[in-house]
Structures are given as structure tokens and as C-alpha cells.
Amino acid sequence: MRALVASVQEVFREAAARWTLVAYFALSSLFILVFAAAVNLDVVNGALAGVRLFGKPIEMGGESVSIDKLVLGFESGFSAFLYLVGTFLALFATAHLVPRLQEKGTIDLYLSRPVGRVPLLLSRYAAGLLLAAANLVYLIGSMWLIIVWKTHVLHPRFLLAGAVILFTISALLAFAFLIGVVTSSTGVSLMATYAIFFFAAILMAHDKISAAVSSETAARIVDGLYWILPKTAELGQATVALVAGSEAPERIANLNHLAVFGSTAIFAAASLGLASWLFSRKDF
């Protein structure tokens, strides 16, 4: 256990020393500050009388809008944006964890200690997730506090967005680890994981794609891939649905959450399992 804690700490120390952690939090802070400075709301008797963005008034058609609904709408939309930004930032900050570990002259130092290969790999995976979670807590927590400060509306469901984003990161990071174990390349891991992210998002329209392809085999492959790969687009929608609650649009609210989360979890477990198996059998 001591060894694994040391491994996790070392990842954090590395992230700090290599400016990954600093850049990760600096970008988030910049984002938070811009948001805090840009949005100014005039709230009169619980209703929004005016909005100014970067000092410029936004036309509201002379109507007064419920501030509660506005905040909910904003948080829902913003959570989708955070889903994309949070996931990409996290992968960028953690995809190097396996390739760096496998570098010649480094791996020997770690594997010559009384630590099993699978626990060593999993400790780095856990460290990567902790790093992502810390940033998400900072990013989403700060945004939420700014919203509360500006609007005096408490809407804690916004914080739940972080859970879905972290779940998505866990699935994609598992895949990045798998590619990292096989190729020992951070660049290839990142490219492959981003490719999976976008390709899986396109497959949300697998019904339409299957209908459009000429052969039945191709249609089956498309459907098969849809069920194998993580549901990145649906998870984005699930983030919005979780934040919006009963106010979520019908097409999002009716998501099959079990299928979306279940198949993504299976993808993550399979990727991590395969990465562990390959890592434990690899000759260094």
C-alpha cells in the first residue's frame, strides 16, 4: 500500500514539476476569471431585468426572465461545454502517465521494487483520475460559487456534472492507458483517444448510418461499434440532463442511462483489463 501511495504522489509531483498541473489549473483559473468578469446580471425582485456580457447589454426583448430558470438553463448549457473542455484537458494532462513509465531507464527503477505490475499500473490510473477529479472540483466548484455570487441562486445539481465528466474521463483514460502500454507513445495515445471520442460521438447516429450503408455487414459493424465504444455524445447529454433535472428537454431526459453508462463502463473495464494484462506480460 505504501508503495502505491508513493506511486500516486509521484504522479502529482511529476504533474507539478512538468507544469502539467500548473497549466491545467491555470487554464481553468483563466476560464473562471473571464467568466466572473464577463457576466453581470441585474436582478430585480427575483427576476432578471438585464444582462451584460463583457460590459455590453444583451437584448432581452423587454421581457423579464425568471432568474432561477435562467440559471438552470445556463448551468445546463454550460455543463455540456465543461464536459468537452474538462474531458480534453484531463486527457491532455494524463495521457503521458504510461508512456513515461515505460521509458527505458525508468521502468527498471519501478519494476525492480516489490510492487506488482498491475497494482503499479492501476496506481497511476488512480493518480490520473485523482488529478482530473481535483481539477473538476476546482473548475466546477468555482463556477458554481461565481454563479451563486452573481445570482444568489443555489442550484447544487450543477455540481453533479462533475461526476459524469469524471466517469467519461475514466473510460477514455483507460483506453489511453491501453494505447500507451502498446505503443509507449503519448502522442499516439492522445490521438487515438481523441479519435475514439469523436468517432463514438458520430456513432450516436448509428441508426441513420446503418440505414445509409449499402451492405448488411457494414450496418452490423456500425451497430456493433456503437455498442462497443463509449457513448461520448450521450454522456454529454446525460451531463446536461443531470444538471437540468425535470427541466431537461425530452429527447435528453429519455436517454437510456443504463445502456449509456453500462456499455461505457464495460468499455472502460475491458480497456483497463487488457492494458493490465499486456503490461503484466510485457518484456522490458
Binding site for other proteins (CB under 8 A): 2-3, 5-7, 9-10, 13-14, 16-18, 103-117, 281, 283-284
Closest contact distance (angstroms) between CB of 3 and other proteins is 4
Closest contact distance (angstroms) between CB of 240 and other proteins is 39
Q: 17 or 154, CB closer to other proteins?
A: 17
Task: Compute the distance between CA of residue 128 and CA of residue 279 in angstroms, rounded to an integer.
Answer: 17
Residues 164, 239: contact at Cβ < 8 Å? yes
Q: 110 or 277, CB closer to other proteins?
A: 110
Closest contact distance (angstroms) between CB of 124 and other proteins is 13
Closest contact distance (angstroms) between CB of 183 and other proteins is 13
Q: 81 or 284, CB closer to other proteins?
A: 284
Closest contact distance (angstroms) between CB of 99 and other proteins is 13
Closest contact distance (angstroms) between CB of 30 and other proteins is 24
Closest contact distance (angstroms) between CB of 11 and other proteins is 10
Closest contact distance (angstroms) between CB of 125 and other proteins is 17
Q: 10 or 247, CB closer to other proteins?
A: 10
Alpha carbon distances (Å) from 222 to 175, 202, 214: 20, 11, 12
Q: 18 or 152, CB closer to other proteins?
A: 18
Q: 18 or 69, CB closer to other proteins?
A: 18
Per-residue HEC secondary structure of the chain comes to: CHHHHHHHHHHHHHHHHCCHHHHHHHHHHHHHHHHHHHEEEEEECCEEEEEEECCEEECCCCCCEEHHHHHHHHHHHHHHHHHHHHHHHHHHHHCCHHHHHCCCCCHHHHHCCCCCHHHHHHHHHHHHHHHHHHHHHHHHHHHHHHHHHHHCCCCCHHHHHHHHHHHHHHHHHHHHHHHHHHHCCHHHHHHHHHHHHHHHHHHHHHHHHHHHCCCHHHHHHHHHHHHHCCCHHHHHHHHHHHHHHHHCCHHHHCCCHHHHHHHHHHHHHHHHHHHHHHHHHCCC
Q: 1 or 258, CB closer to other proteins?
A: 1
- Neighbour tally for 84: CB within 10 Å: 16
Q: 13 or 69, CB closer to other proteins?
A: 13
